Homo-oligomer: A and B are copies of this chain.
């Protein structure tokens, strides 16, 4: 029996409702698969409640102890009662940066039975490789003469060959094993320093992947194609901030963030990767058991695949696809959706 040690971090709001469903389906899929594998779950409490009680977000000690796990299963963090940025920077980004989550992987697929806001209902099936450890997310910058008419506030986007290459190489590898098309997205006509670094890295790494067709799009243009021609994409690679924006849009055109899963991958294997829905804590609908747990369940599939449990991952995806195809307008609670998907596993 192989034991995988999983850090479980439901967090705030609907995070606490969807994570149990993600785990329920994952556990059931492992059982059904007959693989000699078990999960050992360790809970970590992070989020608004703890911050209010203790002033802590995620401590350095906890960050260290996270390293001992094989993966992290995360829900969501954030609450209107906490100043914006405190939990995001203190929990989510602290893990992405501290654990070297170079690749923020975000698949976008329009499943059968799912309504798209797009009239053309195009065939959408691509993945976004969002760089996860640099760009505008480093927190560098600051402000002077704060809260006066002379205030100056800066944000520094930091980009390194090392960081960009990790994401770009991962994206080329994915493109190579998919439809062999890579679109890299930036704004190199304006942000010339970072943009030209990205361009050079793509050109250089691309030499190793002669079969992959590469094209470039400005971020603004990419948003247009996302609604007029999303079937053009196979793999998109882009920077942290552009990736944040484009993947919410990609989720929207494929049926909404209720379905969008993601993996924050340490591609060098030096620390555990983290799996989470791309949606947030959604305080407006929290506590009512009406949140859709599908994104968390699909994040469980991404985690299974990352742990080498491909059969498990595939069975979860198939169960989700089957559920989506017949879902219609049925009103089900969060747990009922989890149960229904688990029941399809065999």
Contacts and interface: CB of A to CB of B under 8 A. Distances in A.
A156 interface: yes
A187 B241 contact: yes
A108 interface: no
27 contacts: A84-B189, A85-B188, A85-B189, A85-B196, A88-B189, A88-B190, A118-B118, A139-B192, A141-B156, A143-B197, A146-B197, A150-B162, A153-B160, A154-B194, A155-B157, A156-B156, A157-B157, A190-B241, A221-B248, A223-B223, A223-B246, A223-B252, A224-B256, A226-B249, A227-B249, A227-B253, A249-B249
A191 B135 CA distance: 11
A20 B163 CA distance: 47
Interface in A75-98: 78, 84-85, 88-89, 93
Contact of A151 (B160, B245, B248): B160
Contact of A190 (B136, B149, B158, B194): B136
A253 B226 CA distance: 11
A148 interface: yes
Given A220-B248, A223-B223, A194 B155 contact: yes
A4 interface: no
A155 B249 contact: no
Contacts of A151: 160-161, 197, 200
Q: How large is the interface on A (under 10, 10 to 19, 20 to 34, 35 or more residues)?
A: 35 or more
B152 A154 contact: no
Contacts of A162: 149-150
A157 B152 CA distance: 10
Contacts of A78: 189
A136 to B, nearest CB: 6
A257 interface: yes
Contacts of A194: 141, 153-155
Given A117-B119, A158-B154, A161-B151, A224 B257 contact: yes
Given A119-B119, A152-B160, A161-B151, A136 B224 contact: no
B200 A223 contact: no
A61 interface: no
Contact of A147 (B143, B155, B200): B200
Contacts of A121: 119
Given A117-B119, A119-B119, A141-B193, A158 B152 contact: yes
Given A141-B194, A154-B193, A149 B120 contact: no
A156 B154 contact: yes
B248 A224 contact: yes
